[in-house]
Amino acid sequence: MGAIDLRWLTEGVANYFSTMEQIENTGMNSGVKFNAVSEQSRGMAEWVSENFCQIQISKLEPANAHEIYPDGFGAIADVATRLLVKTTPDGINAVTNYYTLLSTTPKSDAFYQAFGKTKEEFYQQYQDECDQGFPTLIEHPEGTVGIKGNLIFTDGNQAFTNYMITFCKFQTSECGPSAVIHEDGAFVVYLELGTYYQASLNPITEGEPIGWYNSKGLVKDSSCGGLIQVKEGWQITIMVDLKNIIPCNR
């Protein structure tokens, strides 16, 4: 399935279908509740834009690309595939069509026939989007405001980019979006004005929430998590001690 020609696409497609299946079947991905794949895309796109735009997508074609670029490969492949799907009229069906065409059609022709653009045109589109922060993938719904925040590890020696913060509406338990943490601990997330949220700290990879934020630190369970009301110009600082996650006694 194109593993040698387009290693990034093989990886990205596998991640896309896995994420879609998890959300459709369980409403969850990486231990977080989402209503759609698009909600899960924002944080990953922001992270790639902040950290990996210097890696050209063409460099991720070889079969061993995941070994050459171990830090960024999975995330870049994921975001590039989602961008390709979103900017192709046939959406995810175009990917299936591409792999079907490969058995009878030269690779460059198969890409053009399936996606309506040459591979080189898409690579330039990806680079332009990455440099601009992926505006096509990071849509900010009406009624939301940008919230700036900072994550501080009081126990030190933690890599911020290994984590993301997911915001869940208190009244409905609907989760998303997730904010990917930059190298300095800063993050930006768009939330609905006036709405009450709870926030969980999650690993950037698969896994359950590490804990839920309240004014005293991280707690084990969402039932003890603090409430955050979104206001214009509001900023949040989340202090975390991963060695001392507070039990929930309710």
- Interatomic CA distance for residues 137 and 129, integer angstroms: 9
User: Quick check: 121 pLDDT over 80?
Assistant: yes
d(CA 115, CA 190): 31
Q: Which of 132, 159, 194 is the last residue of a domain?
A: 132
Whether residue 122 sits in one domain with residue 12: yes
Q: Is the pLDDT of residue 37 over 80?
A: no
What contacts 157, CB < 8 A, 6 or more positions away? none
Same domain for 150 and 75, yes or no, is no
pLDDT digits (tens, 9 = 90+) for 39-86: 556 777 888 888 899 999 999 999 899 999 988 898 899 899 999 998
> Residue 32: what pLDDT?
42
Q: Do 119 and 231 have their domain in common?
A: no
In a domain? residue 226: yes
- 196 and 112 within one domain: no
101 with 110: CB under 8 angstroms?
Answer: yes
Would residue 77 count as lying in a domain? yes
Evaluate if residue 4 carries a pLDDT over 70.
no
Domain assignment of residue 23, given as a range: 7-132
- The tens digit of pLDDT for each residue in 157-208 reads 678 878 889 999 998 888 878 887 877 788 878 888 889 999 999 988 767 8
Residues 47 and 152 in one domain: no
**The last residue of a domain, from among 132, 163, 195:** 132
Name the average pLDDT for the chain: 83
Residue 186 lies in a domain: yes
Nearest Cα to Cα of residue 226 among 243, 210, 248: 248
CATH number for the domain that contains residue 192: 2.60.40.1120
> For residue 125, what are its two tokens?
């589109």
Q: How far, in Å, CA of 229 to CA of 192, rounded?
A: 9
| Structure-derived torsion over alpha carbons of residues 116, 117, 118, 119, reported in degrees to the nearest 10 | -100
Residue 247 belongs to a domain = no
How confident is residue 2, by pLDDT bands cut at 50, 70 and 90?
very low
Q: For residues 51 and 122, give the distance between their C-alpha atoms in angstroms, rounded to a whole number.
A: 20
Same domain as 87, residue 30: yes
Domains identified in the chain, total number:
2
Q: Are residues 184 and 93 in the same domain?
A: no
Indicate whether 1 belongs to any domain.
no
Q: Tell me 246's DSSP state.
A: B
Residue 126 inside a domain? The answer is: yes
Are residues 38 and 96 both part of a single domain?
yes
Q: Which residues contact 92 (CB under 8 A, 6 or more apart)?
A: 16, 85
Mean pLDDT for 220-224 is 89
* Residue 94 lies inside a defined structural domain of this protein: yes
Sorted by sequence, the CB contacts under 8 Å of residue 177 that are 6+ apart come out as 39, 42, 43, 166, 167, 189, 190, 191
pLDDT at 208: 83
Domain identity same for 188 and 76:
no
Q: Which of 132, 159, 179 is the last residue of a domain?
A: 132
Q: Are residues 128 and 148 in the same domain?
A: no
Same domain, yes or no: 26 and 128:
yes
pLDDT recorded at residue 159: 84
Domain for residue 149, yes or no?
A: yes
Shared domain check, 113 and 39: yes
